[in-house]
Amino acid sequence: MSERRKQYPFDKIETKWQSHWDQQGTFKSLNPGDEGFDPAMPKFYALDMFPYPSGQGLHVGHPEGYTATDIISRYKRMLGFNVLHPMGWDAFGLPAEQYAIEHGIHPRDTTAKNIAYFKQQLKSIGFSYDWDREINTTDPAYYRWTQWIFLKLYNSYYDEGNQAATPIVELMEKRKEEYPDENATEHRSFIDKHRLAYIDEVAVNWCQALGTVLANEEVVDGKSERGSHPVERKPMRQWMLRITAYGDRLIEELEDLDWPEGIKSLQRNWIGRSEGADVHFELPGTGNKVTVFTTRPDTLFGATYMVLAPEHPLVDEVAEAEHSESIDNYRNEIATKSDLERTDLAKSKTGVFTGGYAVNPINGEEIPIWIADYVLMTYGTGAIMAVPAHDDRDNEFAKQFNIEIRAVVQPKEEENDETSCFTGEGIAINSPLIDGLQTTEAKEVVTDWLGNNGFGKRAVNFKLRDWLFSRQRYWGEPFPISWDNEGGHHAIPEDALPIQAPEMEDFKPTGDARPPLSKAKEWVNHEEGYKRETNTMPQWAGSCWYYLRYCDPNNAERFISTEAEKYWMNVDLYVGGTEHAVLHLLYSRFWHKVLYDLGYVKTKEPFQKLINQGMILGEDGQKMSKSRGNVINPDTVIEEYGADSLRLYEMFMGPLEQVKPWSNKGVEGVHRFLARVWRLFMENSQEGEWVLSSKIKEVEPSKQQLKVLHETIKKVTHDIESLDFNTAIAQMMVFTNAFTGAEERPIKELTIFLQLLNPFAPHITEELFAIIAEIFPQIIDKNEISKMPWPEYDEKYLIEDEVEIVIQVNGKLRDKMITCKNDSEEEIKFQCQELEKIKPFLEGVTVRKIIVVPGKLVNIVAN
RNA sequence: GCCGACGUAGCCCAAUUGGUAGAGGCAAACGACUUAAAAUCGUUCAAGUGCGGGUUCGAGUCCCGCCGUCGGCACCA
C-alpha cells in the first residue's frame, strides 16, 4: 500500500494528534489535593498488566488488552469520570540479565533501551496513558518500597485468633509474658519461625543453567519455565513468604470479585483446600506415633496399611534392621531421579516394606508400614493411611504388593463397576462404630470419636506451599537484611532504604549456590560484624503492588498516600493474559491482604473486575512464534494502515476473551471502513487536497437517519459497558453504510457519530472533529473531541410505527404481516387467520391456541 | 483422569438470553465508473447451528448422552 495513494492521510493525522495530546496533557488525571481536582467526579481505574520490556518489542498480543482498556478509559472520561489509566515496566528479570552476561552490557542499559522502544511503540498506537505516572520496578525510588513491604512481611506474623497479619512485636510481648525465663536465643528462634517472611531449609528447584532456584510455579514438567533448562531438587536455606496462612482468605474472598469463573476455579484449585482429619497411629513399643492426614476419616476401618514418604523423619525409627538395606536402596533410587522421571514412572507404583507396624486407633489393629514415593513429604503430614478399597492410588499399590483390600463403603446405588475401586460417597459397612451411616455423617462421627479419645482432630490442608522468595541473581531487588556472625538475620532500618545493588563488573552466576552479589565483598561486609543478604527477590515482587504505586507514583514519604489510596482503589477493571491467572494474581492478592491487615490499605482485594484477553494466533491458526515465521509486528501494521486501523482490528476480530487468528485481510477491511468514514466527511478538491465534503450540511436528519443514529448510540454504549467491542464496531459500520448514500449529510448527527467512534479510533475522529469545529463553530464549541460529553440516546426515535411480524402455523413459518404498534393482540389473532396464505393450513383442523409475541410473531397451534 | 472454554455460511464472527438463523467484516460472483486496471459505489451468493436424544406451541439458546479443538491441573491422601 505504501506505493499506492493512501486512502486517507492517517500517517500525518496520527503523529499530529499524538504530539498534541502529549503537549496538552489531555489525559492527565488529577489526584486529591492537586490543583483543579474535583472531588465530585466519580473515579475509574482501568489497569493493564504491565509488560516485561523485552528486546523484541511489542507483538500484536500486547495491544489487544491495551486497546480494550483504552477504549473504556476514553469512554469513561467522556462520561465525566476521573480516569486513572497508567502504564509502566516490570523490568527486573532473567532475560535482561542473561543478555547482559552474554554481551557484557549492564542490564540497566539494556533495560533502559528496551523501555524506550516499548514506550515509543505504545505511543504510536495512541493510548491515552497518563505518562506522568509511568513506573519502573527497577527504579530505586520504586523498589525502595518493594523492600519496605518486605520489611512489613518480615516484621509481621499471622495471628490465628484474629486471622490477620499482626506486627511481630505483639508476638514478642506475648511470648515474653508466657515464657519469661526463655533465653534470648530460644526466644529469637521462636519469633523467627513465625514471621511472614522467614528462612527455611527446603528442597528447592535448583536450575544450574540459570544459576538460581525457582518457585514451584516456575517449573513446568521438571524444566524451567523460562528457557526449558533442567531443574533438580536440592535442599537450600531460602527466604520464604507465608502465603499458606492466607489460604482460606484467598479462597473465600474470591467470592465477591467480578472475575471469570474459570480463573476463580483455577485459583481455588491451585490453593487446593481440603478438609479432613489428622489421625494418630501409635508405633507399638516405642511410645512414638505417626500422624496421617485423611479426607475420608469414615474409611478408617478400611485402612490395611500405612505409607510414609521416603523422606519422612520417622522412617528410620519404624524400620526393622533386616529391611534397612532395601529401604536405603529405595531412597537412593528416588533421590537420583528428577521430578520428571518420578512422575513418568507414576504408571506403576513402587515402594518397600519397612518391617514396622502401626496401630489403627479405631480397632487396635496393627497394620504394616511401607514407604513409597507416591506419598509426598511436602503435603499433609508426609504419611497416609492407605484404604485400598476406596482410593485409586492405594488400590493400585495394594494390588501390586498383595495387600488386603477391605471394603467399608457401599455405593448407594447399584454401581456394578467392578474394574475400579469405589471412591465415591455411600453407606459405611464393616465399620462397627458407623455401620449404616452415610459418608458425610460417618466422617463426623469418626472425627468426633478421634477427638474425644485423643487420637486425632479435624484438620485442613492446602496444596498451596509457602512462596520461595529468594533468587540467586544480580538483576533483582536486594533484600533489606543483614546477617550477624552468629547466623541471625536483622532488618535494615526503613530509613536506610533503598538498598541498591553494587556496581559490578562481573555479575555472572558463581557456578554454585552462592548468588552473584556475594562477589561484591565490600558491599557485603557493609558494617563490622554484619554481612548483607546476597540473594535477590524474584521478578514477581515488583508486580505485587505496582497498581498501588500508580495512584501516587512520586510520593517520597510513603508507598502511597492514604488519600490517594482511598480515592483510587480498588482497580475497577484489570485486563491481562491468562498466563498470570495463578502466579501474579495470587501473589499480589496475598501482599494486598497483608497490607490490609496492617492497616496500610482499605480494600481487602486489589482487583474488582478482571478480564483475560484471548491469545492472538498467527494467520495459520498456530501460536505466533519466530520459528513458525507467523509473527505479526504492530509497527508494520501501523505503517501500512495506521494506528486507528490496528486498534479497530484488534477489537473487531472477535470477543475480547476468545482465542482468534490474525488476518491481514481483516485489517484491510477495517481500514476500508475508516476510509469510508473519512470520505463521509471529506472529498478531494480539484487541487487534489482533502476538503470538507459539500454534502455535509446543517440539515434536519430524516426519520430513518435518526433511528440509525440512536440505535448506534444505544448499541455502542451498551457494548462498551459489556466489553463487546466487536459488535459495537459492527454497528458503527451499519451507521456508515446507512449514511454513505445520503446526498445531504446532517452535520450534527455525523458529529455525534464521531464521538461514538472516538474511543476506538481516536486520531481520525479528532482530526475530522477539528475540521468541522473550524467550519461550523456554531455547532461545536470545543476544539477537542476528547473533551466532549458522551452522547445519549432517546428511545422515542427507536420505536417503529409499523412492524412486520411472522406468522407460524404449528411452529412453521407460513407468512408475514405488517402490524401497527397499537394493534391489540385480539386484532392480530383475528387478522392473521384471515391471511390468504394461512387459510389453507387451518382448513379441517381445530385451532387449539394462538401465541402472540408482540412485535415478533404469531404462532397458531392447530390440529 | 479431573476442571474450564469453545464448536453457527468457504473464513472471522452476530443473534434482544426460548421467538423470522444473519448485524458486520473477509473471500467469491456480477454490474456501474475507467481505454484498462486499482480504488470506489451497487447487487448477489451461501450454513439450518459438531452428533444423538429430550422438554416446549416454538431450541443455536434449556436438559441428558456422545464427538472434536484449545487451555489449565495432574500421585495433593
Separation of A863 CA and B54 C1' (Å): 22
Say which range, A364-378, A643-657, A661-675, A849-863, has the weakest mean pLDDT: A849-863
- For the stretch A487-510, pLDDT in tens is 899 999 999 989 999 988 888 888
Nucleotide nearest to A293 (CA to C1'): B77
Residue A4 has pLDDT above 50, yes or no: no
Coil, strand or helix: which one is A239?
strand
Say which range, A258-267, A509-518, A641-650, has the weakest mean pLDDT: A509-518
* H or E segment and range at residue A21: helix A10-24
Residues 256-275 of A with CB under 7 A from strand B: 261-262, 265-266, 269-270, 272, 274
Coil, strand or helix: which one is A232?
strand
Say which range, A51-55, A420-424, A665-669, has the weakest mean pLDDT: A420-424
The bridge status of strand A305-308 relative to strand A223-224 is unpaired
Residue A342 has pLDDT above 70, yes or no: no
Give the span between the Cα atoms of A228 and A161, in whole angstroms: 43
Residues 374-393 of A with CB under 7 A from strand B: 374-377, 379-382, 384, 391, 393
- DSSP annotation of A216: G
Residue A283 has pLDDT above 70, yes or no: yes
Neighbours of A555 (CB within 10 A): 15
Separation of A621 CA and B50 C1' (Å): 19
Asked whether residue A578, judged by its CB, lies under 7 Å from any atom of the DNA or RNA strand B, the reply is yes
- For the stretch A26-63, pLDDT in tens is 999 999 999 999 999 999 999 999 999 988 889 899 99
- Split at pLDDT 50, 70, 90, the class of A341 is low
ipTM of the predicted assembly exceeds 0.85? yes
Separation of A42 CA and B35 C1' (Å): 64
- For the stretch A177-215, pLDDT in tens is 999 999 999 999 999 999 999 999 887 888 888 888 877
Asked whether residue A463, judged by its CB, lies under 7 Å from any atom of the DNA or RNA strand B, the reply is yes
Using CB atoms within 10 Å of the CB of residue A449, give its burial: 0 to 12 exposed, 13 to 18 middle, 19+ buried.
middle
- For the stretch A56-113, pLDDT in tens is 889 899 999 999 999 999 999 999 999 999 999 999 988 888 888 888 889 999 999 9
Residue A217 has pLDDT above 80, yes or no: no
- Split at pLDDT 50, 70, 90, the class of A413 is low
Residues 665-684 of A with CB under 7 A from strand B: 665-666, 668-670, 672-673, 675-676, 679
- Split at pLDDT 50, 70, 90, the class of A781 is confident
- For the stretch A785-817, pLDDT in tens is 988 999 999 988 888 777 888 888 888 788 888
Neighbours of A484 (CB within 10 A): 12
- The pLDDT value given to residue A2: 36
- DSSP annotation of A179: -
Residues 532-571 of A with CB under 7 A from strand B: none
- For the stretch A698-732, pLDDT in tens is 899 998 899 999 999 999 999 999 999 999 999 99
Estimate to the nearest angstrom the gap between the alpha carbon of A722 and the chain centroid: 19
- For the stretch A126-178, pLDDT in tens is 999 999 999 999 999 999 999 999 999 999 999 999 999 999 999 999 999 99
- The pLDDT value given to residue A828: 85
Residues 88-117 of A with CB under 7 A from strand B: none
Asked whether residue A796, judged by its CB, lies under 7 Å from any atom of the DNA or RNA strand B, the reply is no
- The pLDDT value given to residue A246: 95
Asked whether residue A293, judged by its CB, lies under 7 Å from any atom of the DNA or RNA strand B, the reply is yes
- DSSP annotation of A501: P
- The pLDDT value given to residue A420: 61
Strand B positions with any atom < 7 Å from protein CB?
A: 3-6, 11-16, 19-21, 23-27, 38-42, 57-59, 70-73, 75-77
Give the span between the Cα atoms of A110 and A487, in whole angstroms: 37
Separation of A380 CA and B75 C1' (Å): 14
Give the span between the Cα atoms of A341 and A349, in whole angstroms: 13
Give the span between the Cα atoms of A448 and A430, in whole angstroms: 19
- Please, what is the average pLDDT of chain A? 90
- Look up the pTM and report it: 0.92
- The pLDDT value given to residue A489: 95
- The pLDDT value given to residue A340: 61
Separation of A666 CA and B35 C1' (Å): 33
- The pLDDT value given to residue A419: 52
* Angle between helix A762-775 and helix A643-652 axes, rounded to 10 deg: 120
Mean pLDDT score, A735-750? 91
- The pLDDT value given to residue A205: 83
Helix ranges, A280-363 (H): 315-318, 324-336, 339-344
Separation of A845 CA and B19 C1' (Å): 24
- Split at pLDDT 50, 70, 90, the class of A3 is very low
Phi then psi for residue A551, to 5 deg, are -65, -25
Say which range, A2-6, A111-115, A250-254, A599-603, has the weakest mean pLDDT: A2-6
- The pLDDT value given to residue A63: 94
Asked whether residue A857, judged by its CB, lies under 7 Å from any atom of the DNA or RNA strand B, the reply is yes
Closest among A592, A551, A572, A595 to A253, alpha carbons compared: A592
- The pLDDT value given to residue A363: 93
- The pLDDT value given to residue A344: 59
Mean pLDDT score, A509-515? 82
Residue A346 has pLDDT above 60, yes or no: no
Contact by Cβ (8 Å): A368, A403: yes
- The pLDDT value given to residue A99: 86
Nucleotide nearest to A387 (CA to C1'): B77
Nucleotide nearest to A811 (CA to C1'): B58
CA distance to A565, A606, A664, per residue, from A717 (Å): 29, 27, 28
Neighbours of A64 (CB within 10 A): 21
Give the span between the Cα atoms of A579 and A13, in whole angstroms: 36
